[in-house]
Amino acid sequence: MAKLVFSLCFLLFSGCCFAFSSREQPQQNECQIQKLNALKPDNRIESEGGLIETWNPNNKPFQCAGVALSRCTLNRNALRRPSYTNGPQEIYIQQGKGIFGMIYPGCPSTFEEPQQPQQRGQSSRPQDRHQKIYNFREGDLIAVPTGVAWWMYNNEDTPVVAVSIIDTNSLENQLDQMPRRFYLAGNQEQEFLKYQQEQGGHQSQKGKHQQEEENEGGSILSGFTLEFLEHAFSVDKQIAKNLQGENEGEDKGAIVTVKGGLSVIKPPTDEQQQRPQEEEEEEEDEKPQCKGKDKHCQRPRGSQSKSRRNGIDETICTMRLRHNIGQTSSPDIYNPQAGSVTTATSLDFPALSWLRLSAEFGSLRKNAMFVPHYNLNANSIIYALNGRALIQVVNCNGERVFDGELQEGRVLIVPQNFVVAARSQSDNFEYVSFKTNDTPMIGTLAGANSLLNALPEEVIQHTFNLKSQQARQIKNNNPFKFLVPPQESQKRAVA
């Protein structure tokens, strides 16, 4: 990480502009935190094809961090309906694989069905064209810019579990700090409306009892009159009614089940999965290969989708929108006895420079420790993927505001500059940490390359009121940089 940060700073500094933080500050007092908790989701919305769980964004730590967190589970053949949000989103795939699409306004529809000129006489289905479709798999980080609509689909048996944050304090959000999801279809409420009503202390126009009864018309198209929809889409009244959601039976919700499975043009993945994982890493979404098995397989045409990075083709329309940081990818920090850390910053994953967000995947061996450290320029939202760890967080007054276990599925928010250290309690503690800066920097307090290691010995001595010998020990005893192996193995290692 030290080197990472270093080269990163270097590049930024020699360029004409800094990657400056661009986030709204929280309201007054919201970061005067005396006590943090490891939080479970506190709301659960069942859908036909899965489940959305949310954390209350009005909780003080979430208000301080300025983000909204949710977790979405897609069962087999489940389609998450297209939606967009009032802030940039990062989605981490905790489990499963599938496909997703993002609709970037103004970009061409570069995925085209093959034409079938021969088969006449059978009212051939006209050729379909749509924007790029991406594969995703466990460990992927997906970047969704503000206002860009996306959908997601699970075509496997394993449920897809995706954890996502919306950065509502991003300056890209010109609305207030409440998270808002705009669904293109369906009659479900957007999942954060509940909290908005709590916060605002007012009732939505539809009234409480009405919500229970009708609960219709949650999508943005449902808000327009039939007349407008007929005119805009050049369709008849029945289709316009369907656009509004009239044909929906009961609460299907935001995730619907596609009976028989979704059939769209997409690059093949199954064959590619046979390739060694390491190769596949970077190239997976770049070079869709056509092996003739998939009936829809078609090499995307046109320069827009060739995805070479020659500075001309590198437009927003072909921007890479996923990046794998999971267990199998090549880590940035690695110590077989202690664990590994993989980061995705705007250098690895340029789309993040637009979101001004980044993420870090970490894995800690039992009893290994991530040394006390702080984020210089970001809040950190740590979500435990696997196992459990003992974590301590300290604020500017030296108060230990968190001292407890972070278990799988729970989240802990560490505000900027607060100091945090962790020790794994299980064989393999895995976490993903979302950071509110696209080039986050961390400062470690112990170990090689740490702040204390970079201070003159005499300054340590007099600052901590120590003997010279003790200062030297503090400065030099720990030879590890970020991750310290369990004390026993460490003693063996340095012995």
Residues 336-355 that bind its own copies (CB under 8 A): 353-354
Closest alpha carbon to 138 in 154, 117, 115: 154
- How many whole angstroms separate alpha carbon 201 and alpha carbon 226? 32
Are the C-beta atoms of residues 366 and 423 closer than 8 Å to each other? no
Compute φ and ψ for 428, nearest 5 degrees: -150, 100
To its own copies, the closest distance from the beta carbon of 76 in angstroms equals 14
291: amino acid identity, one letter: K
Over the window 33 to 52, marking each residue x when it contacts its own copies by CB under 8 A and - when it does not, the resulting string is -xx-----------------
To its own copies, the closest distance from the beta carbon of 480 in angstroms equals 9
Considering the rule CB under 8 A, would residue 459 count as an interface residue with its own copies? Answer: yes
CB contact set of 225 (below 8 Å; sequence gap of 6+): none
Span near its own copies by CB under 8 A; candidates 114-122, 224-232, 273-281, 321-329:
224-232
Closest alpha carbon to 24 in 214, 212, 232, 169: 169
Closest alpha carbon to 153 in 250, 261, 71, 295: 261
Phi-psi region of 481 (alpha: psi -120 to 50; beta: other; left: phi over 0): alpha
Closest alpha carbon to 126 in 137, 138, 114: 114
**Stretch 126-145 residues interacting with its own copies (CB under 8 A):** 126, 128, 130-131, 133, 145
Rule CB under 8 A: choose which of 43, 159, 184, 271 binds its own copies. Answer: 184
CB of 94 or CB of 380, closer to its own copies: 380
DSSP code, position 390: E
Are the C-beta atoms of residues 285 and 135 closer than 8 Å to each other? yes
Span near its own copies by CB under 8 A; candidates 89-97, 179-187, 287-295, 381-389:
179-187
DSSP code, position 166: E
For 353, half-sphere exposure in the C-beta direction (CA atoms, 13 angstrom radius) is 14
Rule CB under 8 A: choose which of 190, 305, 324, 345 binds its own copies. Answer: 190
**Stretch 397-416 residues interacting with its own copies (CB under 8 A):** 397-400, 403, 415-416
**Number of residues binding to its own copies, judged by CB under 8 A:** 185
Considering the rule CB under 8 A, would residue 21 count as an interface residue with its own copies? Answer: yes
Helix then strand count (H, E) for the chain reads 12, 27
- How many whole angstroms separate alpha carbon 118 and alpha carbon 124? 10
Considering the rule CB under 8 A, would residue 298 count as an interface residue with its own copies? Answer: no
- How many whole angstroms separate alpha carbon 31 and alpha carbon 416? 9
Rule CB under 8 A: choose which of 256, 341, 344, 413 binds its own copies. Answer: 256
Span near its own copies by CB under 8 A; candidates 15-23, 37-45, 135-143, 154-162:
15-23
Considering the rule CB under 8 A, would residue 419 count as an interface residue with its own copies? Answer: yes
CB of 342 or CB of 380, closer to its own copies: 380
To its own copies, the closest distance from the beta carbon of 260 in angstroms equals 10
CB of 107 or CB of 297, closer to its own copies: 107
DSSP code, position 320: -
Rule CB under 8 A: choose which of 122, 276, 312, 495 binds its own copies. Answer: 312
**Stretch 151-170 residues interacting with its own copies (CB under 8 A):** 151, 153, 169
Structure tokens at 64: 């301080």
Rule CB under 8 A: choose which of 40, 286, 492, 494 binds its own copies. Answer: 494
- How many whole angstroms separate alpha carbon 325 and alpha carbon 141? 7
**Stretch 462-481 residues interacting with its own copies (CB under 8 A):** 462-466, 468, 470, 472-474, 476-478
Rule CB under 8 A: choose which of 59, 158, 159, 206 binds its own copies. Answer: 206
Over the window 373 to 402, marking each residue x when it contacts its own copies by CB under 8 A and - when it does not, the resulting string is -xxxxxx------------x-xxxxxxx--
CB of 297 or CB of 455, closer to its own copies: 455
CB of 119 or CB of 205, closer to its own copies: 205
**Stretch 55-114 residues interacting with its own copies (CB under 8 A):** 64-66, 79, 81-82, 84, 86, 101, 103-107, 109, 111
CB of 129 or CB of 275, closer to its own copies: 129
- How many whole angstroms separate alpha carbon 403 and alpha carbon 217? 45
To its own copies, the closest distance from the beta carbon of 309 in angstroms equals 11
The residues facing 407 across adjacent strands are 388
Place of tokens 């996306």: 150
Considering the rule CB under 8 A, would residue 9 count as an interface residue with its own copies? Answer: yes
Considering the rule CB under 8 A, would residue 202 count as an interface residue with its own copies? Answer: yes
Q: At what angle do helices 226-233 and 237-244 cross, to 10 degrees?
A: 110
Phi-psi region of 349 (alpha: psi -120 to 50; beta: other; left: phi over 0): beta
